[in-house]
């Protein structure tokens, strides 16, 4: 194991994180808030730590690293970023408990959007901006960003990319990983920028527009308002949110194709089709259920339903209504949605459509295989047959995912959560969604949980964001044997 | 014509035989001395032992003075390379046999003429088309279409209870005066007969009929056959031919493909979404039973191995399959398979050879096809305005007795030829001929 290169790269990441902490200072000036010292001090501590790490390891000649180093850099990079990212909240004093600050930051970086802050509107602008920025950076991935802007990584770049943007199949849009990273971030920035413009047109002020665009495109879900997006009652703004949540939940390779005028994926891409179809069908059903709840205003019922279904399926986690109480069974309905997830290669979390599709299709084909034991009947995905190695990988992922969710729920019950809240909290954190059910439901937050529960959930968020394998691998003894 | 044939495998051998018969000057190049000696002893050619890509060998074969260079070795690369070399040395025309469909498709356009290959043949594609036609036209043993189906030549085996058994040609003609078909050949006891009016039909005769599309139903009735629609097809072997057939069969047919190579099955399943790909040995009766051979209408065996194909087709017939089609590339087996009860057989190499002959005769001959198992050819000639066929009515022509005129396509119309028919300029004439008749035919149609 080449530890020097690991520390060197984590040092770089910390310097970068420190730099980003200062990004909200213009807003602090504009709104005359008193958080500038807190931001500056945090930035200094973070960058200085990073600089020292880099200084100690800079002389290393050996710049090569393999899969193991890649997994370690990504996992510990994210961990350290969250540890230091919590500093502004602590130093300013808006959050007094470090556990809470860490939970909030991890929830930010992993684009979960679960929060422990009760009154968000008293938090100064610079700090709010940092909170939204953690999500935006975490959405496309800060390591992907480093790959795009730092010329330091050679061959190892691909290992890092694979560890931070796990997925089922690798679709690089350029032969070189650095160019791929640049293009992904380019699309990401362009979409974010478009959303800002549209939200401004919808009447939002610039600060809110930027913050919300950051958290929509990252499928994060943090808001600057206590009532979350419910604060913005304009249908136009809600539709803008819906559309950009849908964009964020799509595979970014598809955006790349769209920018090049290729729209054939609408017909050909299996995952995209199942994504749109699923949201449409669920919205249709829930709209009918929701109608009596709001005195049969059809458009409003449709909009609210579509908004929440999209928000949960893409793992954004925006909330504008207490959907748990729309109908007696809507809690179960929305709980199930926590396990769906966006498309592979999107900024969304969760199990993801590609995996659901492969598993379901493989399950159905297994029935056919029983009839024809000697036949070779592969699952077809995007018109291509999928090998058994991939199916087996997806099955393993699914088993781990469900196993961790069950195990986590039991663990949280032991620490005093009721059944529904425990299951909801784990599902929403592992899936990087945000709101759960029960006492961590759409109108509640995570502040009341015991500290230990918050650490466990923070760990689940990280596992969910890095799609289990990256983190789980490090926990196996085999990983440490050379 | 000076012709060089590189590679005297089955295709090359067949070509050498046909072409030397027509008194062309043929030089054969092959790296295998034994094969070469065999060809040399059976035909009138000059043989050179060596590699077709060797410049000194090509020079020795006088490639610079050749009118035609035909590369039909088993290696595609060698065929392409030697064609290019021969062309650059001065050969007038080159033909290369390929084994890659892509070269003929229009997806990526490469001008092969420019680099020195005038004509490429891909025998697999020809065989695929023929097989699919046979499956669609279920009662026929052979089916060849001319001018987009305006005329077709069908081969049918006569059942014992067919209405025309033991009748003479004249009697049948009297009984059905208004039907649009003509019997061009009968294959009986390993011999091809050009039938005269007094010839009788016997059970188990294989009869070749030229017909307009409207006549097909009547012919089937006369032969005691019905054209049933096949829905259930089983293909043995995932070679290029197996793949091609599975791809080309209509969507409503249920197609199962058996392949014994496990790695290949996955790529087959990938390529053929509508086909059920099964891993196993086609000679395994349990497997066939498991996959419902009882319900299969047509069984197509197209593995690389002729013996496997024949055996598995016989087995399929034994299990009640209505039609079994075997790919038999060993020319020696061709006459044999007819007698042991196979419905149709296809021969990739003969197909390729015929395709090349057609290219050579291009000009007067529009199309040429061989019928498997029988020693005869079907030609489609275009009648030149000043050729001698136009001068008299068909019955008065000095026509070779080894050949028979089947039909004429005139513009959009088609006719079945009778004694009083008159061939007009630019008619396309379909003729069935034994090898001995070819020379005379060429004279008749020459301008």
Could you tell me which residue, B296 or B172, shows the higher pLDDT? Answer: B296
What is the least distance, in Å, from the CA of B286 to any CA of chain A? 11
Does residue A280 contact residue A216 with C-beta atoms inside 8 Å?
no
- Do the domain assignments include residue B228? no
Cβ contact (<8 Å) for B280 and A376? no
C-beta of residue A102 within 8 angstroms of C-beta of residue A134:
no
Q: B255 with B194, same domain?
A: no
In the 8-state DSSP scheme, what is residue B173? Answer: H
DSSP secondary structure letters along A293-347: GGTT-HHHHHHHHHHHHHHHHTT----SS-GGGSSTTHHHHHHHHTTT---TTSS
B115 and B71 within one domain: yes
Q: Which residue of B has its CA nearest to A380?
A: B270
**Alpha-carbon torsion, ordered B15, B20, B23, B29, to 10 deg:** 80
Looking at the structure, do residues B203 and B251 belong to the same domain, yes or no? no
Contacts with A380 from chain B: Cβ below 8 Å:
273
The pLDDT tens digits of the residues spanning B333-364 come to 877 766 777 777 788 877 788 778 777 766 56
pLDDT digits (tens, 9 = 90+) for A86-113: 999 999 988 889 999 999 999 999 999 8
Question: Does the pLDDT value for residue B13 go beyond 70?
Answer: yes
* Contact residues on chain B for A375, CB-CB shorter than 8 A: 276-279, 291
For B139, phi and psi rounded to 5 degrees? -85, -15
List, for residues B381-439, the tens digit of each pLDDT value.
888 787 877 878 877 888 888 888 888 888 888 888 877 788 888 888 888 888 777 77
Q: What is the pLDDT of residue A246?
A: 95
Are B276 and A378 within 8 A, CB to CB? no
Q: Among B195, B222, B249, where does a domain finish?
A: B222
DSSP annotation of B433: E
Q: Of the candidates A374, A375, A385, which has its C-beta nearest B270's C-beta? A: A385
Record: contact A385-B287, CB cut-off 8 A: no
Quote the pLDDT of residue B70: 93
Residues B32 and B88 in one domain: yes
Using the CB atoms, write b or e for B266-284: b if 16+ within 10 Å.
bbbbbebeebbbbbbbbbe
Question: Quick one: tokens of A345?
Answer: 């290669």
DSSP A106-128: HHHHTT------S-GGGS-HHHH
**Whether B374 and B402 share a structural domain:** yes
Backbone conformation region of residue B326, classed left if phi is above 0, alpha if psi is from -120 to 50, else beta: beta
Task: Compare all CA atoms of chain B with the CA of A381 and give the residue at the minimum distance.
Answer: B270
Residues B419, B424, B427, B433: what is their CA dihedral angle, to the nearest 10 degrees? Answer: 40
At B30, which helix (H) or strand (E)? strand B25-30
Q: CB atoms < 10 A from the CB of B106, how many?
A: 5
Q: Which residues of A touch B280 (CB under 8 A)?
A: 374
> Residues B359, B408: one domain?
yes
Q: How far is A290 from chain B (nearest CA, A)?
A: 41
* Pair B114, B164 in one domain: no
Nearest C-alpha neighbor of B131 from the set B279, B262, B325: B325
Residues B256 and B307 in one domain: yes
Q: Residue B233 — φ and ψ, nearest 5°?
A: -115, 140
Which pLDDT score, from 0 to 100, does residue A169 have? 63
Instruction: Say whether both B263 and B324 belong to one domain.
Output: yes
Contacts of B86 (CB under 8 A, 6+ apart): B4, B58, B63, B66, B69, B71, B94, B116
Q: Give bridge partners of residue B377 from the DSSP assignment.
A: B370, B433
pLDDT at A211: 95
The verdict on residue B160 lying in a domain is: yes
Residue B404 lies in a domain: yes
CA–CA gap between residue B199 and residue B191 (Å, rounded) = 14
Q: From the centroid of its chain, how far is CA B25?
A: 25
| pLDDT, averaged across chain B | 84
Domain assignment present for residue B229? The answer is: no
Q: Which of B121, B152, B175 is the last residue of a domain?
A: B121
Same domain for B241 and B142?
no
B126 touching A (Cβ < 8 Å):
no
Q: How many domains does chain B have?
A: 4
Does residue B268 lie within any of the structural domains?
yes
DSSP state of B444: H
State how far the alpha carbon of A363 is from the alpha carbons of A272, A369, A398, B291, in Å. Answer: 20, 10, 13, 21
Please tell me the pTM assigned to this model. 0.81
Q: Which residues of A touch B282 (CB under 8 A)?
A: none
**DSSP code string of B400-426:** -TTEEEEEEEETTEEEE--TT-B--TT
pLDDT single digits (tens) B54-103:
999 999 999 999 999 999 998 999 999 999 999 999 998 899 998 888 88
Please report, for the domain that includes residue B271, its CATH number.
3.40.50.720
Question: Helix, strand or coil for residue A43?
Answer: helix
Q: What is the pLDDT of residues B262-280, one digit of tens each?
A: 889 999 999 998 899 999 8
Assigned domain for B345 exists: no
Q: How far apart are the first and last CA of chain A?
A: 8
Q: Which parts of chain A register pLDDT below 70?
A: 63, 150-156, 166-172, 482
* ipTM exceeds 0.85: no
CB–CB contact B277 A373 (8 Å): no
Nearest to B225 by CA among B172, B278, B163: B163
Q: Which of A474, A354, A466, A449 is nearest to A115 (CA)?
A: A449
> Which residue carries 């090359």 as its tokens?
B12
Query: Is B343 contained in some domain?
Result: no
Mean pLDDT score, B323-334: 82
Same domain as B248, residue B332: yes
- Candidates A372, A377, A380; nearest CB to B291: A372
Query: What gap in Å lies between CA B187 and CA B173, rounded to an integer?
Result: 19
Q: How far is B376 from chain A (nearest CA, A)?
A: 42
Structural domain range at position B209:
132-222
Q: How far is CA A45 from the centre of its chain?
A: 26
Question: Which candidate, A218, A410, A180, places its Cα nearest to that of A318?
Answer: A218
From the list A376, A384, A387, which residue is nearest B278 (CB)? A376
The Cα–Cα gap between B280 and B291 comes to 11
Distance from CA of A378 to the nearest CA of B (A): 7
Query: Scanning the structure block, which residue is given the tokens 């084909």?
Result: A365
Rounded Cα gap, residues A431 and B194, in angstroms: 80
- How far is Cα A220 from Cα A347, in angstroms, rounded to an integer? 9
Judgement on whether residues B185 and B281 belong to the same structural domain of the protein: no
H helix or E strand, kind and range, residue A38: helix A36-57
Cβ contact, residue pair B277, A372, below 8 Å: no
Q: Which residues contact A317 (CB under 8 A, 6 or more apart)?
A: A112, A113, A114, A219, A220, A221, A311, A428, A433, A434, A435
Task: Name the DSSP class of A355.
Answer: H
Amino acid A308: pLDDT = 92
* Residue A171 tokens, joined: 């679709």
Supply the pLDDT for residue B194.
82
Query: What is the pLDDT at residue B373?
Result: 63
Alpha-carbon gap: B280 to the closest alpha carbon of chain A (Å): 7
How far is it, in rounded angstroms, from Cα B30 to Cα B48?
7
Contacts of B158 (CB under 8 A, 6+ apart): B164, B165, B201, B202, B203, B204, B205, B206, B207, B223, B224
- Angle formed by the axes of helices B348-360 and B10-21, nearest 10°: 40
- Indicate whether B311 belongs to any domain: yes
What chain A residue is nearest to B282 in terms of C-alpha separation?
Answer: A374
Pairing label, strands B46-49, B25-30 = parallel
Q: Residue B146: what are its φ and ψ, rounded to 5°?
A: -120, 145
Residues contacting A447, CB < 8 A, separation 6+: A100, A116, A117, A118
* Cα(B351)–Cα(B370) distance, integer angstroms: 7
What CATH number is associated with residue B386? 3.30.70.1450
Shortest Cα distance from B328 to chain A (angstroms)?
26
Q: Of B73, B93, B121, at which residue does a domain stop?
A: B121
Give the closest residue to A71 by CA, choosing from A143, A170, A17: A143
C-alpha–C-alpha distance, residues A104 and A82, integer Å:
9
Give the separation between CA B303 and CA B308, rounded to whole angstroms. Answer: 7
| CB within 8 Å of chain A, chain B residues 247-276 | 265-270, 273, 276
* Confidence at residue B158, expressed as pLDDT on a 0 to 100 scale: 81
């Amino acid at each position: 194991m080449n530890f020097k290169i690991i520390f060197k790269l984590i040092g770089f990441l910390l310097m970068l994180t420190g730099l980003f902490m200062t990004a909200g200072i213009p807003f602090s000036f504009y709104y005359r808030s008193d958080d500038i010292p807190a931001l500056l001090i945090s930035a200094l501590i973070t960058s200085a730590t990073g600089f020292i790490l880099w200084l100690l390891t800079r002389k290393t000649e050996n710049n090569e690293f393999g899969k193991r180093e890649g997994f370690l850099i990504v996992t510990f990079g994210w961990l350290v970023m969250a540890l230091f990212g919590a500093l502004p909240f602590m130093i300013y004093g808006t959050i007094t408990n470090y556990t809470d600050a860490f939970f909030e930051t991890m929830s930010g970086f992993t684009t979960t959007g679960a929060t422990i802050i009760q009154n968000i509107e008293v938090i100064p602008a610079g700090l709010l901006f940092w909170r939204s920025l953690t999500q935006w950076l975490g959405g496309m991935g800060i390591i992907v960003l480093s790959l795009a802007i730092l010329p330091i990584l050679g061959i190892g770049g691909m290992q890092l990319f694979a560890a931070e943007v796990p997925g089922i199949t690798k679709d690089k849009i350029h032969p070189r990983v650095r160019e791929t990273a640049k293009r992904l971030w380019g699309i990401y920035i362009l979409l974010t920028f478009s959303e800002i413009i549209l939200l401004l047109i919808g009447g939002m002020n610039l600060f809110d527009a930027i913050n919300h665009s950051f958290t929509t495109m990252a499928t994060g879900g943090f808001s600057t308002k206590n009532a979350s997006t419910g604060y913005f009652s304009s249908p136009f703004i809600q539709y803008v949110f819906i559309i950009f949540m849908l964009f964020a939940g799509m595979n970014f390779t598809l955006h790349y194709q769209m920018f090049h005028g290729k729209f054939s994926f609408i017909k050909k891409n299996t995952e995209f089709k199942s994504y749109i179809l699923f949201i449409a069908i669920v919205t249709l059903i829930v709209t009918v259920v929701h109608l009596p709840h709001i005195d049969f205003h059809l458009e409003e019922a449709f909009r609210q339903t579509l908004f929440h279904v999209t928000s949960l399926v893409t793992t954004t986690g925006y909330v504008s209504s207490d959907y748990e109480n729309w109908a007696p069974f809507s809690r179960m309905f929305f709980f199930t949605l926590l396990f769906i997830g966006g498309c592979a290669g999107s900024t969304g979390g969760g199990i993801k459509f590609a995996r659901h599709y492969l598993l379901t299709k493989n399950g159905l084909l297994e029935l056919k295989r029983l009839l024809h034991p000697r036949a070779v009947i592969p699952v077809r995905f995007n018109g291509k047959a999928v090998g058994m190695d991939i199916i087996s990988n997806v099955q393993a992922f699914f088993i781990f995912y469900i196993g961790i969710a069950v195990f986590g729920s039991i663990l949280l019950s032991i620490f005093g959560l009721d059944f529904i809240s425990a299951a909801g909290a784990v599902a929403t954190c592992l899936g990087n969604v945000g709101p759960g059910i029960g006492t961590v439901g759409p109108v509640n937050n995570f502040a009341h949980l015991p500290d230990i529960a918050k650490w466990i959930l923070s760990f689940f968020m990280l596992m969910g964001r890095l799609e289990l394998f990256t983190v789980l691998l490090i926990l196996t003894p085999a990983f440490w044997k050379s | 014509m000076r012709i060089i044939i590189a590679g005297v495998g089955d295709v090359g051998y067949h070509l050498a035989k046909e072409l030397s018969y027509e008194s062309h000057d043929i030089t054969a190049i092959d790296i295998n001395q034994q094969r070469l000696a065999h060809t040399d002893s059976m035909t009138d050619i000059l043989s050179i032992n060596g590699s077709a890509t060797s410049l000194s060998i090509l020079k020795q074969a006088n490639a610079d003075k050749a009118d035609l260079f035909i590369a039909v070795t088993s290696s595609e690369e060698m065929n392409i390379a030697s064609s290019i070399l021969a062309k650059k040395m001065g050969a007038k025309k080159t033909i290369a046999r390929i084994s890659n469909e892509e070269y003929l498709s229009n997806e990526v356009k490469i001008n092969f003429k420019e680099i020195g290959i005038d004509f490429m043949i891909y025998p697999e594609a020809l065989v695929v088309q023929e097989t699919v036609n046979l499956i669609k036209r279920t009662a026929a043993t052979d089916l060849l279409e001319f001018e987009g189906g305006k005329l077709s030549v069908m081969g049918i085996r006569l059942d014992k209870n067919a209405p025309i058994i033991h009748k003479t040609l004249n009697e049948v003609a009297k009984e059905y005066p208004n039907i649009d078909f003509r019997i061009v050949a009968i294959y009986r006891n390993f011999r091809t007969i050009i039938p005269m009016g007094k010839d009788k039909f016997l059970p188990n005769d294989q009869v070749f009929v030229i017909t307009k599309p409207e006549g097909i139903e009547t012919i089937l009735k006369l032969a005691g056959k019905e054209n049933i629609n096949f829905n259930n097809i089983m293909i043995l072997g995932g070679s290029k031919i197996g793949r091609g057939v599975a791809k080309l069969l209509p969507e409503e047919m249920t197609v199962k493909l058996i392949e014994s190579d496990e790695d290949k099955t996955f790529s087959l399943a990938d390529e053929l979404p509508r086909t059920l790909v099964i891993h196993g040995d086609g000679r395994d009766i349990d497997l066939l039973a498991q996959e419902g051979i009882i319900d299969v209408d047509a069984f197509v065996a197209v593995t690389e191995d002729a013996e496997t194909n024949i055996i598995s087709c016989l087995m399929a017939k034994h299990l009640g399959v209505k039609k079994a089609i075997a790919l038999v590339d060993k020319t020696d087996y061709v006459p044999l398979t007819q007698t042991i009860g196979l419905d149709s057989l296809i021969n990739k190499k003969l197909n390729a050879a015929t395709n090349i002959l057609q290219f050579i005769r291009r000009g007067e001959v529009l199309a040429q096809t061989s019928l498997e198992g029988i020693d005869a050819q079907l030609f489609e000639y275009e009648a030149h305005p000043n050729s001698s066929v136009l001068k008299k009515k068909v019955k008065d022509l000095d026509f070779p007795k080894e050949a028979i005129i089947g039909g004429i396509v005139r513009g959009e119309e088609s006719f079945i030829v009778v004694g009083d028919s008159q061939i007009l300029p630019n008619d396309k004439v379909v003729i069935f001929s034994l090898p001995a008749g070819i020379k005379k035919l060429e004279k008749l149609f020459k301008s």
